[in-house]
């Protein structure tokens, strides 16, 4: 019997110089993907992904279309769209990749949207005024309490509920620093600032969400071929009408990744395949659902290994 397969797509933090190069060299479909992206973006997307420099690749406005492109290039090289998946999901920016993979949006429109999304995010908070930090080993309740107490010096809120014992907080610099101190006092094993200046998935992104809303309204959406579990509510989305409000809500709301993965399991997913650069989501899923089968596809070698494992599971 075929295992219930769910595809997941990475977000910011998974990028690295050189990502996608092996697929580009091996797959005509991947090469066309980079060419399409370059035509939309107005610069060489392949050169950015393969050669960097890292300082440019790590700027939000460039990271987002680069990751979308690398992930969809991998998806097209896999030809996984022939597999009947139970559900898809993506982490933050990866939700747009999931929507393209599920047929809700053309790749070209997706690239254009995330380029604008990255720009709006970067412009919504003055450089150096925001901070993002990871809290390890603290419950969601105590994390919420630390943020609430630190709000006396500025805005800080949970941004990503990633997996048991790993929550990311974000907000104004002084408030995040205060929340880190409080989290340590409440028993966090570690609390460390992350090299991300844009406090995404907090109310500070409301202005960016309002700007993005107009672009989302102009995009051509279609019903999804594969159901999507969204970030903002860990809810199942199947129709075009539900996509735009979900994406508008996503930007100023926390990513409910742990809930999203558990929702996919409740839908029948037993095998998770991460498509795109890195293995960040694979690691999180192993901590959320230890008995789930996890695979990743970021180059031809990992594709071959994943395909062989999936075929063995389906025939076993």
Instruction: Kindly name the residue from 14, 27, 71, 92 that is annotated as catalytic.
Output: 92
Angle at Cα 283 formed by Cα 168 and Cα 263, nearest 5°?
A: 75
Give the closest residue to 124 by CA, choosing from 187, 58, 205: 205
Which residues, in sequence order, are CB contacts of 38 under 8 Å at separation 6+? 44, 45, 46
Instruction: Kindly name the residue from 201, 246, 253, 260 that is annotated as catalytic.
Output: 201
Q: Catalytic annotation on 201?
A: yes
Which residues, in sequence order, are CB contacts of 201 under 8 Å at separation 6+? 92, 159, 160, 170, 250, 251, 252, 253, 254, 255
Q: Catalytic annotation on 92?
A: yes
Distances (CA, A) of 226 to 6, 74, 93, 175, 219: 10, 18, 18, 40, 19
Q: Compute how many other C-beta atoms are within 10 angstroms of the C-beta atom of residue 46.
A: 21
Which residues are catalytic, by number? Answer: 92, 201
């Amino acid at each position: 019997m075929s295992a219930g397969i769910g595809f997941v797509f990475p977000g910011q933090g998974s990028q690295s110089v050189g990502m996608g190069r092996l697929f580009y060299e091996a797959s005509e479909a991947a090469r066309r993907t980079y060419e399409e992206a370059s035509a939309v973006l107005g610069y060489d997307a392949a050169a950015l992904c393969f050669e960097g420099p890292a300082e440019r690749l790590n700027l939000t406005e460039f990271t987002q279309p680069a990751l979308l492109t690398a992930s969809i290039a991998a998806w097209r090289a896999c030809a996984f769209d022939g597999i009947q998946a139970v559900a898809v999901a993506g982490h933050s920016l990866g939700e747009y990749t999931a929507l393209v993979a599920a047929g809700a949006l053309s790749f070209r429109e997706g690239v254009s949207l995330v380029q604008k999304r990255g720009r709006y995010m970067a412009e919504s908070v003055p450089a150096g005024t925001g901070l993002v930090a990871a809290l390890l080993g603290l419950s969601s309740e105590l994390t919420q309490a630390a943020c609430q107490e630190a709000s006396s010096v500025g805005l800080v809120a949970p941004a990503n509920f990633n997996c048991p014992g790993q929550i990311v907080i974000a907000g104004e610099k002084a408030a995040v620093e205060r929340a880190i101190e409080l989290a340590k006092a409440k028993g966090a094993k570690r609390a460390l600032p992350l090299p991300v200046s844009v406090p995404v998935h907090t109310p500070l992104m409301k202005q960016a969400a309002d700007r993005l809303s107009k672009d989302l309204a102009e995009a051509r959406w279609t019903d999804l071929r594969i159901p999507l579990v969204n970030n903002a509510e860990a809810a199942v989305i199947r129709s075009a009408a539900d996509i735009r409000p979900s994406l508008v809500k996503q930007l100023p709301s926390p990513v409910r990744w742990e809930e999203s993965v558990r929702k996919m399991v409740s839908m029948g997913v037993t095998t998770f395949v991460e498509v795109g650069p890195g293995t960040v989501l694979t690691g999180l899923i192993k901590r959320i659902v230890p008995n789930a089968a996890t695979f990743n596809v970021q180059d031809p070698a990992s594709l071959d290994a994943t395909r062989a494992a999936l075929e063995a599971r389906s025939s076993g």
